[in-house]
Amino acid sequence: MLPKGTKGVIVALFGHPGLWYTAVRLAIRLGVRPDNRYMRFRMLTMYGDTTTEPRPSDLVAYVRWCKQYQQYLRQLDRSSR
């Protein structure tokens, strides 16, 4: 069984095939569901409440940010050579 909210995230990511690779890498790195302490911290800093479930659109935005950040790091690496 998938963790609560996973289906909404999958549906939201379905419309963004350019983010699929990054999303899979994040799922492998963080696990299907990150550590509870990390999630409570993220929900508190993002929504002001530790019991809130992340919105699929926010997770898509996070995956997009991760992809852009990795591209930025690769660009920095190339320019330093």
pLDDT in tens, 62-71: 999 999 999 9
Q: Indicate the pLDDT class of residue 36, thresholds 50, 70 and 90.
A: confident
Across the chain, mean pLDDT equals: 86
Enumerate the domain spans of the chain: 6-79
E strands within the chain? none
Residues 6+ apart with CB under 8 A from 22: 63, 66, 67, 70
Q: Indicate the pLDDT class of residue 5, thresholds 50, 70 and 90.
A: low
Decide: 44 and 50 in contact? Cβ < 8 Å: yes
Decide: 66 and 26 in contact? Cβ < 8 Å: yes
pLDDT of residue 1: 44
Res. 2: pLDDT tops 80:
no
